[in-house]
Amino acid sequence: MNLYDAFPPETGESFTTLLEYKNVKIIRIVSSDTPDQKEYCQEEDEWVVVLEGSALLEVKGEPRSLTRGESLFLPAGTPHRVLETAPGTLWLAVHIF
């Protein structure tokens, strides 16, 4: 599988699990230009990196911009949501249980 061979959905985001092993899960996320803005507050730690594109997130009520190559660590229990994305924004998310 080539991480970059992905087409953005018309709306929201598409999630593909790339690896699930012991206490780690790695997910490829491809965003449209209209994310669903759902609030997430996971029980596990999460590290995300933007491989292509850009995004505006809200983390604990504060805005946070990410562009190509930038990453963010979200400790378990941190409320966050994706507010805006460039079409075709490509992410990797690593969940640590």
Q: What does the alpha-carbon distance between residue 13 and residue 88 come to, in Å, rounded to a whole number?
A: 9
Q: Which domain holds residue 60?
A: 13-96
Rounded to an integer, the average pLDDT of 67-73 is 99
What average pLDDT does the structure give for the chain? 97
What's 22's domain CATH number? 2.60.120.10
Give domain status of residue 90, yes or no: yes
Give domain status of residue 45, yes or no: yes
pLDDT at 40: 96
Check: CB of residue 91 under 8 Å from CB of residue 69: no
Q: What does the alpha-carbon distance between residue 83 and residue 33 come to, in Å, rounded to a whole number?
A: 10
Give domain status of residue 5, yes or no: no
pLDDT at 54: 98
Give domain status of residue 1, yes or no: no
pLDDT digits (tens, 9 = 90+) for 19-52: 999 999 999 999 999 999 999 999 999 999 999 9
**pLDDT confidence bin for 13, thresholds 50/70/90:** very high
Tally the domains of the chain. 1
pTM attached to this predicted model: 0.95
Give domain status of residue 78, yes or no: yes
Give domain status of residue 61, yes or no: yes
Residue 64: which residues within 8 A CB-CB, separation 6 or more?
56, 57, 58, 72
Give domain status of residue 80, yes or no: yes
